[in-house]
Structures are given as C-alpha cells and as structure tokens.
C-alpha cells in the first residue's frame, strides 16, 4: 500500500500525518508531496527522514491512495492525473464536492455509496461534516423539514496565516493580515467570499453539501457563517424542524448511540461541547439539546468538532480505511 499526502507541509497535511500514525494506517510506502517551493525539504516522520517530492514525481510513483489537501486549483489540475494512473484520490478541497460524477462522503453516513470505480472522492467542508453527523440520524428518525445553522468558526479554518494574524494581534505585534479586519476581540460575519445572492461560499457549502451526503433534497437549510478568534475547533448553533414530533430523551439516546458522536448534554452541571475540549479529538460533540418553544416539532442544539481532524484529516483517512478494508483500492 503506497500512500501520498499532497500538501504535506500545510496545516491539514501535518494533521493527516499525525492521524495516519495514531490510527496505524497500514501503508508500506509514504510519499510526502508539496508545491515546488517545498520540494527537497526534509520532514522527519516516525523517526525517518522523508524528502518532499513534486506532484510530477508523485504521479510517476502511482500511489494507491493520494490524500489531497493542497487547495482547489491544485486538485482540479492534478487529481485527474493521479486517477489516470490508477490512484484513488481523496480530496479535501471544494473542487469536486458538488460535481455530479463524484461522491461526497462522511464514512459514518454514506461510505456504502463508494465503489472501486470512484477514483476521485470528495471530503466535505469541515462545518458540513460535523453538522451532518448530527442531522443524519435525526433525519432517519423524524424527517428533516428545515435547518437553520449559525457557525462560530476557528481562524485555523482559514490557515496558518490567519492563526499568525490572531497571535500577533494578541501580542500587539504588527504582521501580515489574512483578514480585512482584526480578528482578536472580534467576530467576522464573513467566511470566504460573498456571492451575488449575499451569502458567502462557506454558507452555500453548508446549504448544499448535506443534501448530497444524505441523498435527500426534500428539506430546507439556511446558514450564516462567522469567524471567531479561537485557535481550533468549529462550533454551530443549529435549529432543526422535523416532519414529526420527537421525544427529547429519545433524541439524546439516538445521538448517544451514533458512532462518532459524543453527547455532552448536562448544562446544569456545566457539561456542554466547547472547542477547548474538542481539541485534538476525532469525535463530533453535541449538547444544549432543547425544544424550541416557538415552533412545533423543532429543537435547538450546539455542535462542536475539531475542524482540522474530523473536519478534514480524520474524515479523509476514515475514507481511506473504508476503501482499503472493502478492497476498493
């Protein structure tokens, strides 16, 4: 099993390497791949030195699986070249997510849609992954009617430059700006660029990707995405209207028994999900579950996950684990 990590020097690439090691993914050869400016650099991983290679060299090596986290343009240009030599690409960018010919996968929800013919598999948006991990089991039980989600997203979702901007501002140091405004002691109601409809690209991902993952467009979903000054972890306030009424105890039981979901719902004891406690965890945490007293068949909840792990690296590696275990690669 030869595996390539494309974008190995980036934030998500580094987490992918850590998760590969933690989960003991069964590879025999590891290729670390990055842009031309990083080619030739040495990365020490699991006690061994690895030289970063180019995309051209990685394609020539024809790995069995390539984990991509190098941006949409790179994925559009290079994923088909890897696929052409028989590599299964698991792509973390938005390049292929809504393409009708490519699957969008959260393994706990819809891994069974994958076949050996799927050579480019899309990893969903980080905020989408944690959202659907909670929505999917509740949809099966009660039928979704309408979902309203407001996100509180870490600066790490923008990248290293944004984290450095926040850290510089905390220290009172001037430096490069990832955002148009300060992020320390601030909240920016803009994740990604604005579109003609007034929504951002991030919000539109949240509004379209869950329907594809769950294979159902019968429900409505609207979103507002906000960037906040946390170093890691995305949070979501979610209002969910169902077609049928529900019992709160049953909702909690369903979520507590959902693989990959951790119920933290004892607010009277100060137990609820937070980015701080979700840090470096692979699970999705849900709490503050309560009935919306203004609408029938509607509840509110609070969802938190580490956006670099389950929101990116871990989900991609779980896909790799599935296709390997099923003999699809």
Percent with pLDDT over 90 in the chain: 99
pLDDT in the model for residue 38: 92
The two tokens of residue 271 are 């137990």
Structural domain containing residue 80: 2-124+312-325
Percent with pLDDT over 70 in the chain: 100
Provide the CATH number for the domain around residue 87.
Answer: 3.40.50.720
Provide the CATH number for the domain around residue 254.
Answer: 3.30.360.10
pLDDT in the model for residue 121: 98
82-91 pLDDT, tens digit per residue, is 999 999 999 9
Cα-flanking dihedrals φ and ψ of residue 139, to 5°?
Answer: -65, -40
Average pLDDT (14-37) is 95
pTM (2 d.p.): 0.96
pLDDT in the model for residue 266: 98
pLDDT in the model for residue 238: 99
Residues 48 and 63 occupy one common structural domain: yes
In angstroms, how far is the first alpha carbon of the chain from the final one? 9
Average pLDDT (222-241) is 97
234 labelled catalytic: yes
Q: What is the CA radius of gyration of the chain?
A: 20
pLDDT in the model for residue 91: 98
Residues 270 and 148 occupy one common structural domain: yes
Cα-flanking dihedrals φ and ψ of residue 213, to 5°?
Answer: -60, -45
129-170 pLDDT, tens digit per residue, is 999 999 999 999 999 999 999 999 999 999 999 999 999 999
**Sorting pLDDT into bands at 50, 70 and 90, what band is 95?**
very high
**DSSP assigned state of 123:** P
**Sorting pLDDT into bands at 50, 70 and 90, what band is 127?**
very high
Residues 235 and 287 occupy one common structural domain: yes
Rounded Cα distance between 122 and 125, Å, is 9
50 labelled catalytic: no
Rounded Cα distance between 258 and 9, Å, is 34
Residues 205 and 156 occupy one common structural domain: yes
pLDDT in the model for residue 182: 98
Average pLDDT (9-33) is 95
Residues 251 and 172 occupy one common structural domain: yes
pLDDT in the model for residue 246: 98
Q: Given 139, 191, 234, 301, which residue is catalytic?
A: 234
Residues 249 and 119 occupy one common structural domain: no
**Sorting pLDDT into bands at 50, 70 and 90, what band is 20?**
very high
Residues 115 and 142 occupy one common structural domain: no
pLDDT in the model for residue 137: 98
CA angle 323/328/329 to nearest 5° reads 90
**Sorting pLDDT into bands at 50, 70 and 90, what band is 69?**
very high
Residues 139 and 82 occupy one common structural domain: no
- Bridge partners (DSSP) of residue 2 are 29
Average pLDDT (10-37) is 95
CB 249 within 8 A of CB 310: no
Average pLDDT (54-73) is 97
Residues 319 and 223 occupy one common structural domain: no
User: What is the number of domains present in the chain?
Assistant: 2
Count of positions (residues) in the chain = 329
- Bridge partners (DSSP) of residue 266 are 271
Rounded Cα distance between 228 and 166, Å, is 10
Q: Which residue has the tokens 């991990």?
A: 133
CA angle 117/120/124 to nearest 5° reads 125
Rounded Cα distance between 233 and 303, Å, is 10
Do β-strands 261-263 and 220-227 pair in parallel, antiparallel, or remain unpaired?
unpaired
pLDDT in the model for residue 221: 98
Kindly report the average pLDDT of the chain as a whole number. Answer: 97
Average pLDDT (75-80) is 98
Residues 152 and 282 occupy one common structural domain: yes
pLDDT in the model for residue 81: 98
The two tokens of residue 210 are 């869950």
Strands of the sheet with 65-68, listed across from one edge:
29-33, 2-6, 65-68, 88-91, 120-122
Q: Given 126, 139, 191, 301, which residue is catalytic?
A: 126
Average pLDDT (14-31) is 96
Average pLDDT (17-37) is 95
Q: Which residue has the tokens 């049953």?
A: 250
Do β-strands 234-242 and 120-122 pair in parallel, antiparallel, or remain unpaired?
unpaired
Q: Which residue has the tokens 């973390």?
A: 92
Average pLDDT (193-218) is 98
Residues 298 and 317 occupy one common structural domain: no
What beta strand segments (E) does 182-259 contain? Answer: 220-227, 234-242
Average pLDDT (183-203) is 98
Residues 170 and 236 occupy one common structural domain: yes
């Amino acid at each position: 099993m030869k595996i390539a990590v494309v974008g190995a020097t980036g934030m998500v690439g580094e987490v992918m390497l850590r998760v590969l090691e933690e989960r003991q993914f069964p590879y025999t050869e590891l290729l670390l791949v990055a842009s031309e400016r990083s080619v030739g650099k040495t990365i020490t991983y699991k006690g061994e030195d690895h030289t970063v290679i180019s995309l051209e060299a990685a394609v020539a090596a024809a790995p069995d699986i390539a984990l991509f986290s190098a941006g949409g343009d790179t994925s559009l240009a290079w994923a088909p070249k890897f696929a052409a030599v028989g590599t299964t690409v698991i792509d973390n960018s938005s390049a292929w997510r809504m393409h009708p010919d490519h699957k969008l996968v959260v393994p706990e929800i819809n891994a069974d849609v994958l076949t050996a013919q799927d050579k480019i598999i899309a990893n969903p948006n980080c905020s989408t992954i944690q959202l659907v991990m909670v929505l999917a089991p509740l949809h099966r039980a009660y039928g979704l009617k309408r979902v309203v989600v407001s996100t509180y997203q870490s600066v790490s979702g923008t990248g290293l430059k944004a984290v450095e901007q926040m850290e510089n501002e905390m220290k009172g140091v001037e430096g490069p700006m990832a955002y148009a405004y300060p992020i320390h002691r601030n909240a920016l109601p803009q994740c990604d660029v604005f579109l003609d409809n007034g929504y951002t690209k991030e919000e539109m991902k949240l509004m379209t990707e869950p329907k594809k993952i769950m294979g159902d467009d019968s429900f409505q979903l609207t979103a507002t995405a906000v960037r906040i000054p946390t170093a890691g972890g995305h949070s979501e306030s979610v209002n969910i209207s169902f077609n049928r009424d529900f019992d709160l105890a049953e909702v909690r039981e369903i979520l507590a028994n959902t693989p990959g979901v951790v119920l933290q719902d004892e607010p009277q004891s100060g137990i609820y999900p937070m980015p701080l406690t979700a840090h470096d965890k692979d699970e999705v945490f849900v709490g503050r579950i309560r009935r919306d007293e203004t609408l029938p068949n509607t509840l509110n909840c609070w969802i938190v996950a580490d956006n670099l792990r389950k929101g990116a690296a871990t989900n991609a590696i779980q896909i790799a684990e599935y296709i390997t275990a099923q003999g699809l690669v």
